[in-house]
Structure 1
Amino acid sequence: MARTIQSLERAAAVLRLLAGGERRLGLSDIASSIGLAKGTTHGLLRTLQQEGFVEQDPHSGKYQLGAELLRLGNSYLDVHELRARALVWTDDLARSSGESAYLGVLHQQGVLIVHHVFRPDDSRQVLEVGAMQPLHSTALGKVLAAFDPVAHNEALETGFEAITERTVTEPADFEALLDDVRARGWASDVGETWEGVASVAAPILDRRKVPVGAVGITGAEERMLGPEGLHQRLVAAVRDCARSVSRDLGAGRF
C-alpha cells in the first residue's frame, strides 16, 4: 500500500474540523480535537492561512475556513451546473447569431473554455473546450475582470502582453475599458486577440448575483461588424443568452 503524506493528512483534518461544528475555533480547541501539540497545529494553521484556506479573526484570534477554499469548492459545483444550464441556451445563441458560441470561467489567471458550440455552417472547425484565453484582451476575459474582483486582480497580476497592435497594454486604459464594460453590461474584442476576429460577451450570474462565468460569440470582423461597430442584434443575442442562463441558475430578473 502506498504511504500517505502525514502533513497533508493533518491539514485535511484541520479543514474537516473547521468545516463542521462551530464556525470559529481557537488554537487549543483545534489542537486537542485532532490530537496534536499546539506548536504543530499552529504551524499547520499558519501554512493554510498563507494559502488562503484558513482565516484568523483579528479580534478573537480564532480560525475559520478561508475564502480560497470556499471559492475552489464553489467553482467545481458552479462549472458543472453552469455548463448543464447553458447547453440549450448556447445552442440557441449559435443558431440565432450564426457564429461560434463559447462559455468561459476564471481559471489560473485566464479564461477556461468549458463549452463550445460550432458556428452553424459547413466550415471545418476545431473544438476548443479546455483551451485557455487571456483575461486582458478577450471579450470573455474582460467581462470576468469587470464583474469578478478575483479575476480583476489576476488580470492585473498577469500583466498586459501585446498580442496584436490593438491589444490594450496600459493598466489605466484597461481600467477605463472595464468601467465601460460595467456600465453597458457587455464586453467586446475587435482584433485585440486574433487579427480579423471580433467577439462579444456578457456575464452569467448565480443565485447570489455573483458572476460565475461569461458567454459570448466569436466570428470574422466582416460578419460581426457594421459601419457603426458591432451589430447590435448580436450584442442583444449574447445578453439575452446570459440573462437566460443566469435565471436558470437562480439569479432572477436583472
Structure 2
Amino acid sequence: MARTIQSLERAAAVLRLLAGGERRLGLSDIASTLGLAKGTTHGLLRTLQQEGFVEQDPVSGRYQLGAELLRLGNSYLDVHELRARALVWTDDLARSGGESVHLGVLHHQGVLIVHHVFRPDDSRQVLEIGTMRPLHSTALGKVLAAWDPVAHSEMLDAGLKSITDRTVTDSSVLERELEEARSRGWAGENGETWEGIAAVAAPILDRHRMPVGAVGVMGAVERVHADGAPRPRLVAAVRDCARSISRDLGADRFRGVSLGSE
C-alpha cells in the first residue's frame, strides 16, 4: 500500500475542521481538537495562510477558510458538464418560478449542490454551492434515489434519519413515494428537512438517458404549495427545465427512463 504524507493529511484535517461547525477557530482550539502540538498546528496554519487556503482575523487572531479554496472549488465545478449546460436554464427557471433554484448530483451518500440561483427578489440569501443535503428528505435527493439505483442504495446505506417531525423514516413509505415520483416525473418535499420549506425537483438525463443529476425549486411552503400540493405551474416549470438541460446533454429522447405522464 502506498504511504501517505503526514503533513498533507494534517493540513487536510485542519481545512475540514474549519469548514464545519464554528467558522473561526483559535490556534488552541484547532490543536486540541486534532490532537496536535501547538507548534505543529501553527506551522500548518502559517503555510496554509501563505497559500491563501486559510485567513487569520487581525483582531481576534482566529482562523477561517481562505478565498483560494473558493477559487479552486469553482474551478472544480466549472469542469462539470452538467453545471455548464444548466446555467441558462436554471436562470430562466428562477425568473419564471420566482423561487431559488438548486442543481444537485450524487456525492458521498448525499446530494452535492453544484449550482444555486437566488430567488429573484431583494431578500437576503446565502449561496449554497458546495453544500451537502440528505437523499431521503429532499426533493433533489428523492429524484436521485428514484431514478438512480446507486443513489437508492447509498440512501439506504446512509440511513433514514429523522430531521424534522415530517421526515419519512419508514422505508416502505419512502419506497412508495419514490415509485410515485417515477410515475409522475418529479419529487417533492414539505418540511422534511427544514420546517416551513417546500421544494419540487425533476431528473436530468445524459446522452445515454441515464440520470446524472436533479434540478429543483425551493421556497416557503405558502409560496410553493397551494391546497396542500405543489403549484402546478412550478411543477411544469421544473420539469421543462430538466428536459431542456437533458436535451443539451444529448438526451433528445426519453425512451428507457420514464419521466412521467404529461
Give the TM-score normalised by structure 2. Answer: 0.67
Check the 8 A contact 1:98/1:120 in 2, yes or no.
yes
SS of 2:93's equivalent in the other structure is helix
Matched, 1:236 2:236: yes
Unpaired segments ≥5 residues, structure 2: 5-75, 255-262
1:202 corresponds to which residue?
Answer: 202
SS of 1:236's equivalent in the other structure is helix
In 2, distance between residues paired with 1:79 and 1:225?
Answer: 35
Deviation at residue 6 of structure 1 after TM alignment: 7.8
SS of 1:141's equivalent in the other structure is helix
Question: What percent identity do the matched residue pairs reach?
Answer: 71
SS of 1:162's equivalent in the other structure is coil
In 2, distance between residues paired with 1:161 and 1:189?
Answer: 15
In 2, distance between residues paired with 1:183 and 1:239?
Answer: 13
In 1, distance between residues paired with 2:78 and 2:251?
Answer: 13
1:188 corresponds to which residue?
Answer: 188
Matched, 1:213 2:213: yes
In 1, distance between residues paired with 2:141 and 2:168?
Answer: 13
SS of 2:80's equivalent in the other structure is helix
Unpaired segments ≥5 residues, structure 1: 8-75
SS of 2:202's equivalent in the other structure is strand
Larger Rg: 1 or 2? 1
Q: How does 1:1-254 map to 2 (within 5 A)?
A: 5=2, 80-254=80-254
What is the alpha-carbon root mean square deviation over aligned residues? 1.9
> Which residue type is aligned with residue 107 of structure 1?
H
> Which residue type is aligned with residue 159 of structure 2?
G
Deviation at residue 229 of structure 1 after TM alignment: 1.1
> Which residue type is aligned with residue 235 of structure 1?
V
Deviation at residue 161 of structure 1 after TM alignment: 0.6
In 2, distance between residues paired with 1:175 and 1:223?
Answer: 27
Give the TM-score normalised by structure 1. Answer: 0.69
Check the 8 A contact 1:78/1:212 in 2, yes or no.
no
Check the 8 A contact 2:77/2:83 in 1, yes or no.
no
